[in-house]
Amino acid sequence: MKKPLRFAVFVSGKGSNLHAIVDAVKKGEIASELALVFSNKPKAEAIKYAAEIGLETLHLHPRDYTNPQSYDRDIVINLKRAKIDFIVLAGYMKLLTPYFVKEFPNKIINVHPSLLPAFKGKQGIKDAFTYGAKITGVTIHFVNDKMDNGPIILQESIKVPEGETLENLTEKIHAIEHRVFKKAIAMYEQGRLKVQAARRVKIVPAK
């Protein structure tokens, strides 16, 4: 019997997506083993939650390193030691260096709270709301060496009604993230995501 893949989740904040991923693993919706939770912020609520439920955790502070590449090199060493097959960025608020991405080509999956390529960056929900977008949504994509620019795996849109509040829109976006993210992870572990030329992702039908 083939061993399940091992994956790491990278976090920086409260960890609502981490909670959803843990729940999906428990329910068998994600078959891979959640082998490590990493954070660049030792006091992040997400890393505390991971430790409390008994997951293997690791936190390294960027200020302890001379440059971003040396920081990422140390992370990669730990990931390979833990035999990590792929990585999920769940609210990880730090750009990965080109060195890191090359070490895990098309093996890093990110969730972004807008319909890329619109509203890149840390404030995707707020930026779309402030701009007055009538439709926004969620994007799941592979990570490359540019911010929010990798091949798109899945997108789901949502209308922004008149009178919508930022708080309510944020809740709706998070709900979509939790549902679509686990779907993309399951597709990846099943070998159903094929990155083609021109950065397109072909989704292979389930067997």
Give, for all 207 residues of the chain, the pLDDT tens digit.
678 999 999 999 999 999 999 999 999 999 999 999 999 998 999 999 999 999 999 999 999 999 999 999 999 999 999 999 999 999 999 999 999 999 999 999 999 999 999 999 999 999 999 999 999 999 999 999 899 999 999 999 999 999 999 999 999 999 999 999 999 999 999 999 999 988 899 999 987
* pTM, 2 dp: 0.95
Under 8 Å CB-to-CB from 95, ≥6 apart: which residues? 68, 147
Classify domain 6-201 by CATH architecture: 3-Layer(aba) Sandwich (3.40)
CA 65 distance to own-chain centroid: 24
Percent helix, strand, coil in the chain, to 5, is 40, 25, 40
Q: From CA 26, how far away is CA 28, in angstroms rounded? A: 6
Q: Is the dihedral of CA 22, 24, 26, 29 positive or negative?
A: negative
- CB 147: neighbour CB atoms within 10 A? 13
What are the sequence ranges of the domains in the chain? 6-201
Of the CA atoms within 13 Å of residue 162, those in its CB half-sphere come to 0
Catalytic residue numbers, as ranges: 112
